[in-house]
Structure 1
């Protein structure tokens, strides 16, 4: 059984590898899911992903993957968001964050957005996710560390902060709580903070380990993949990027070409062959 997991700061890779035997790749960006389909995995799990300074994973490539019989799951971060958007087409969401987005209790990608270090340091988080703060402040209120109104106030302060600068101490300072209360809350958070993204990522991988038989049958979809010139352009750009990234490696161009032709009309293929950069939408 071949599973590819796009994972970054939500869960340490060493912990993920102790849960399930999978191929772990860096946080997903545009074109990465398409590239993953080239080795025909049984399932793709999207947990973490890039956006902003890198184009985010494209809905179209997820839809494409599922037409190839590949099960696609999402949880915790970018994966949860995409699973809500593509749930009607067959992408499967998992976890508290996914359910909160699906049910309208969470809105906006900034709920899960953080900054983090590079792969060399294990994508170590630098800022805190707003969704984790929501869960932690609610838990602190349940524990009697502060009132429900104070918890709501702290969430609103965190919401107003730019996501790369979000952290608990900055929020507590901005709230101007009495010194003793602020100290007690900071101490409590250090011991009991909830990392919901980590919980959901771990939960999805545990689900995989316990439900491998679910993946034995290829994914079936009820939609017809609609090929466009934009899809042809995206595939060609990814092919070129792979060639530049692996200059000494022989890529399976026949498979890439076969994958492309399976879903493109003759006009799209002809357009791609006539130098895509000159094609107009």
Structure 2
């Protein structure tokens, strides 16, 4: 069972920011599929939004080691019978991450496993050849080898009773903002990405990045405009 952590030591998960969920109205077929679907989600997307998009789906905390295995083992006797697992967020570091073999075991038992945005995108890229289905920009970046490190999607966040609110920014989110910012030169972009990468994932925030960039000599005018620019 995943337990809530204190604010002083927020748990670690992976988190997306560049992939947006669809906002189309659920259809009858969507509702039927949702009834047999479990979605593991945390800081990336509010559980209420999952319920709105997939009425009837089971909304679960970020996935951890053993969660997918438990579903696969209980599938025959569980009601409702889970036929689809969607992984968005997942724990790691202080809690063991979902294991590759439990995902492949679920696939072998005929359960669809989908991944997007965060831990789900990472595992989907690693297990695409085994049948796990990946969705979204972050998944595609991992699948193409444009993103490699696990900590690209890592964030610290508050416990479930605080809505899993993120207290750090994922490196992939910082990269996206830096790449889109029109006021930055190529040299400044490269410097900012390296500064963000150098920080431990729990310390990665836009505020920390601005401070590091000022100390590193990134032009102040560009940083001032970046700070005022609405982030994607």
The TM-score, its normalising length taken from structure 2, stands at 0.78
Check conservation: 1:73, 1:83, Cα contact below 8 A. Answer: yes
Counterpart-to-counterpart distance in 1, 2:207 and 2:219: 14
Give 3-state SS (helix, strand or coil) of 2:59's partner.
Answer: strand
Check conservation: 1:4, 1:36, Cα contact below 8 A. Answer: no
Q: How does 1:175-190 map to 2 (within 5 A)?
A: 175-176=213-214, 177-188=218-229
Larger helix proportion of the pair: 1
TM-align CA RMSD? 1.2
Counterpart-to-counterpart distance in 1, 2:225 and 2:71: 47
- Larger-Rg structure: 1
Corresponding residue of 2:48 = 14
Residue 53 of structure 1 pairs with residue 88 of structure 2: no
The one-character-per-residue Cα deviations of 1:3-41 (angstroms, maximum 9, x if unpaired) are 000000011112222211211100000000122232331
Counterpart-to-counterpart distance in 1, 2:221 and 2:132: 47
Corresponding residue of 2:177 = 136
The one-character-per-residue Cα deviations of 1:104-160 (angstroms, maximum 9, x if unpaired) are 1101111000000000011000000000011111000xx2x1112211110110000
Q: 55, 62, 66: which is aligned to 1:27?
A: 62
Counterpart-to-counterpart distance in 2, 1:111 and 1:178: 26
Q: 70, 73, 96: which is aligned to 2:111?
A: 70
Q: 115, 120, 133: which is aligned to 1:92?
A: 133
Corresponding residue of 2:193 = 155
Residue 166 of structure 1 pairs with residue 204 of structure 2: yes
Larger strand proportion of the pair: 2
Structure 1 runs not aligned, ≥5 long:
195-281
Structure 2 runs not aligned, ≥5 long:
1-32
Q: 132, 136, 148: which is aligned to 1:107?
A: 148
Counterpart-to-counterpart distance in 2, 1:101 and 1:23: 27
Counterpart-to-counterpart distance in 1, 2:45 and 2:121: 14
Counterpart-to-counterpart distance in 2, 1:55 and 1:105: 25
Counterpart-to-counterpart distance in 2, 1:102 and 1:119: 30
The one-character-per-residue Cα deviations of 1:64-96 (angstroms, maximum 9, x if unpaired) are 111221100011111111111111110111111
How far did 1:56 drift? 0.7
Check conservation: 1:59, 1:82, Cα contact below 8 A. Answer: yes
The one-character-per-residue Cα deviations of 1:193-224 (angstroms, maximum 9, x if unpaired) are 22xxxxxxxxxxxxxxxxxxxxxxxxxxxxxx
